[in-house]
Amino acid sequence: MDLLTGVEAVCNRLATDNGWHALLLQHGLDIKARPLAAELNKPLSVDRSVKGFEDFSLNGQRAIEARSPARSLLYHALASPNVTTAPDGEPLQLFPTAGEIEQVLNYVYGVRPPSLAELQQQAGDGTKLAIVVFAAEYRPGPDTGHEKHADLCFSRTGIARVGTAPARYDPARRGFLPWLENDPQAFCVTPARYYAFIAMEKSGADPGFGPWPVQPADEDLRFWVPLHKLFDGPECLADLDLKIDLETFHINEKIRQFHLKFPIATIGQPDLSKPPFVITDDLVQWADEQTFGKGLLMPVVKPRLVEEAVHEGQRLFFFVPPNPSYGGYIINRRFKQRDDGSIQDLNLEPDVLQIVKDGNYRALHFIDYTAEGWVRATCKQLPEQMDSVAAYSLAAAPDFYPEYDQRSLLEWSNRQSFPQPFFGANPRVLSDRRAAGNPGLKGDHFRPDDKGITAAVSHELDNAQPCRLDDVASTRRQSWLCYAAAGFFSPGWEISGNSFNPTFFCAYELGSPFTEDVRICASIGGYWPAVSPDNTRAFEPTIGWVPIIPLTDEEIGAWDGTPRPRLLEQPDGKQVVEYTHYEFTDFTKSALAGQLSLQRIAQTSDTDYQGRILSMHNAFKSLGATTRQEKNAWSVLSFRKVERPDALLEQAESATGAVLQAPIHGYRIYKNDIPATTTPPHDFTKRHAIVVEMVELFLDPTTVLIKREGSCWRVHPIEPS
């Protein structure tokens, strides 16, 4: 089937929904017209006041603009997650499939196929061309690097995410979500999209393609810039009938690298090159091309996020020495092998930390199915001297906040007047980091000097003026680009490196299994290092631990199995808050028991996420606490999103004469006494914190209603940032 016939089939199916036909007619495009090629090429009267088209490039005036997705109105309509309503304001009932969107994208590049000579002329004489694989995603204007209009965005690193359930494609959002409505414990795998391009190698000093934002020394680096998408058939490049072969390799070698770095066991070769020390099979697979188009890489669904490691049919253990020092490497050591071979769960022992510190026992290894690798394209019809440049590919840990990415939070927080330091660690975004791909991966595809693999780039920009993006919604789906990932730490969330300031990326230095990283990141203010659940208030007051993005009372515990804190009356009339002791939590154990869940928190929108940060900060501020040290004297017992009717809110409004406007947040915050925190004699897994003063608060974006102990409700205006 030729490309135009495929596009006709897409238009025919969408035209059965009168909403699509009427929507595109508002711009002068009739998808029922034939011959369709002429209709797609004619000048249009684009109406950018139509919802979903506000960020369509101001230079776009045709349904299909050859080799320019950003200026092709039909492609924008099909690919943009903001095109969801018919002209009458009613939701569209029919949406293109991922495969149909790819069909139209190929037509954008194939409607007037260039020759290799033309591509070389466009790149410039002497500019190196190669077959380069990119992760790519069409994103609304505010979510692009240049922020001028909606555009196809690229990175040479893609991030898929592991899970326990098949991928869930949401047609309206034109993307994937990691949660299921009817199964709270399900983690849907989310894929990453890879395209092969003829690309040109450019200096970071050259304007017009990125990288965004520019980093120090970018002008001294080289970056690959996409020129022309490659796909099978005779319509891609003039006078050539192409067959594009995509090959991929992925590996999980966290246990192997641990044993190489810390030779604390007698296991050696050839065992260290076999499972579970090295896992290469059944990690990822290509999704069905008919449904999703070519190049969608999908993690393989697994029964559990974490498994016991098995070697030659037996559980695999490693020796824990006294006072182990693993140089920042985080590994679960809480399941001890007894003399009879059975397992002792050290989480059930009151002196678990001392046992682990004393060591001198064998601990059970665990595996997860995260991985790193590459995607590479070859084409026998292209010149042999044209290099094939691979993309770096990650199958990373799940993302608990798919609707809000790291780049958005960094840029938003930079616009606020928060006191510094505000977060538990400085925000970092993977697209801002410069390091090479893992040179130790099979195939030697990553050069040490090729440090732009996570950079965000675009096609070379034309002279289009920026669109008005004030009312354009951001992407509400899982992104596989580096915008959405955290910059590396030691350890990290999606990726780490060969040191704290690495020269190359790798995944084998991450926590083993990844749930060890989740436990740490979630407990320390929800921002170390990723957009992650802020579980700080689930645990006893601790110096340096300050809630930033609080979980609601319904969310806390529901996502990780840790009971939420509860208020207790003591025989002497004093109040204490009872917590689960952090020392006795183990997210690897929770994962094995199926207690981890992202269903509830994964539906948090960008405005909700930002609103929680502001309201938490304003709640503290109304108590006279603005710095992290001052906030540390207060603990959050309860946080909820308030819906009317609410008796306590009505009482506060009646007492003050104020009327709060949605969204409204309700807090119970108490003044703590950290030195007086104790372990109750009846349960060593709990901690009791003394309540010095209890405070009730309600907040909307402009006002705080506050009732301190022994006082009446009063109004505390929020000062503008």
pLDDT tens figures, 35-81: 999 999 999 999 999 999 999 999 999 999 999 999 999 999 999 99
When pLDDT is averaged across residues 398-427 and rounded to a whole number, the result is 91
How would residue 529 be classed by pLDDT, with cut points 50, 70 and 90? low
Q: Is it the case that residue 491 has pLDDT exceeding 60?
A: no
Q: Which long-range contacts (CB under 8 A, 24 or more apart) does 640-644 make?
A: 640/552, 640/553, 640/554, 640/665, 640/666, 641/552, 641/665, 641/666, 642/666, 642/698
d(CA 639, CA 413): 22
Q: Is it the case that residue 392 has pLDDT exceeding 70?
A: yes
CA 468 to chain centre: 26
How would residue 262 be classed by pLDDT, with cut points 50, 70 and 90? confident
- Find tokens 């509830």 and name the residue: 600
pLDDT, residue 261, reads 87
Q: Is 261 helix (H, G, I), strand (E, B) or coil?
A: helix
As a residue count, the chain comes to 721
Contact 652, 705 (CB under 8 A): yes
Q: Exposure string (b/e) for 525-544, b if CB count within 10 Å is 16 or more?
A: bbbbbbbbbbbbbbbbbbee
Token representation of residue 92: 């569209």
How many separate helices (H) and strands (E) can be counted in the chain? 15, 31
Give the CA distances from residue 687 to residues 143, 388, 394, 564, 690, in Å, rounded to whole numbers and listed in that order.
Answer: 43, 58, 39, 12, 10
Q: Is it the case that residue 182 has pLDDT exceeding 80?
A: yes
Strands 157-161 and 391-396, by their bridges, are parallel
pLDDT, residue 248, reads 98
Contact 362, 315 (CB under 8 A): no
Q: Is it the case that residue 490 has pLDDT exceeding 60?
A: no
Q: Is it the case that residue 117 has pLDDT exceeding 90?
A: yes
| Residue 470, Cβ density class (10 Å: 0-12 exposed, 13-18 middle, ≥19 buried) | exposed
How would residue 265 be classed by pLDDT, with cut points 50, 70 and 90? low
Token representation of residue 694: 């209890």
Helix axes 98-110, 3-15, angle to 10 degrees: 140
Ramachandran category for residue 556: left, alpha or beta (phi over 0 → left; psi -120 to 50 → alpha)? beta
pLDDT, residue 694, reads 97
When pLDDT is averaged across residues 446-453 and rounded to a whole number, the result is 96
What single DSSP character describes residue 671? E
Q: Quickly count: other Cβ atoms within 10 Å of residue 307's Cβ.
A: 17
pLDDT, residue 242, reads 98
Give the CA distances from residue 459 to residues 129, 145, 204, 243, 456, in Å, rounded to whole numbers and listed in that order.
Answer: 14, 11, 14, 23, 11
Task: Give residues with Cβ within 8 angstroms of 68, minimum separation 6.
Answer: 60, 108, 459, 462
When pLDDT is averaged across residues 148-163 and rounded to a whole number, the result is 98
Cα torsion at 653, 658, 659, 660 (round to 10°)? -90
Q: Quickly count: other Cβ atoms within 10 Å of residue 610's Cβ.
A: 17
pLDDT, residue 500, reads 72
Q: Which amino acid is located at 652 in the chain?
A: A
Contact 110, 72 (CB under 8 A): no
How would residue 527 be classed by pLDDT, with cut points 50, 70 and 90? low
Alpha-carbon dihedral sign for residues 690, 696, 700, 701: negative
d(CA 481, CA 49): 29
When pLDDT is averaged across residues 135-159 and rounded to a whole number, the result is 97
d(CA 561, CA 563): 6
3-state helix, strand, coil in the chain (%, to 5): 20, 25, 55
Strands 703-707 and 714-717, by their bridges, are antiparallel
Candidate from 145-154, 208-217, 529-538 with smallest mean pLDDT = 529-538
Task: Give residues with Cβ within 8 angstroms of 161, minimum separation 6.
Answer: 178, 189, 190, 299, 395, 396, 397, 398, 399, 478
Average per-residue pLDDT for the chain: 94
Q: Is 455 helix (H, G, I), strand (E, B) or coil?
A: coil
pLDDT, residue 274, reads 94
What single DSSP character describes residue 719? P
Q: Quickly count: other Cβ atoms within 10 Å of residue 338's Cβ.
A: 10
- At residue 521, φ and ψ (nearest 5 deg) are -60, -40
Give the CA distances from residue 335 to residues 100, 350, 365, in Å, rounded to whole numbers and listed in that order.
Answer: 49, 14, 8
Contact 159, 480 (CB under 8 A): yes
d(CA 455, CA 482): 8
Q: Which amino acid is located at 613 in the chain?
A: I
Q: Which amino acid is located at 666 in the chain?
A: G
Q: Is 333 helix (H, G, I), strand (E, B) or coil?
A: coil
Token representation of residue 17: 């929904």
Distance separating the N- and C-terminal Cα atoms of the chain: 58
Task: Give residues with Cβ within 8 angstroms of 312, minimum separation 6.
Answer: none
pLDDT, residue 501, reads 76
pLDDT, residue 266, reads 60
pTM: 0.96
When pLDDT is averaged across residues 609-621 and rounded to a whole number, the result is 97
d(CA 273, CA 251): 11
Q: Is 188 helix (H, G, I), strand (E, B) or coil?
A: strand
d(CA 80, CA 86): 14
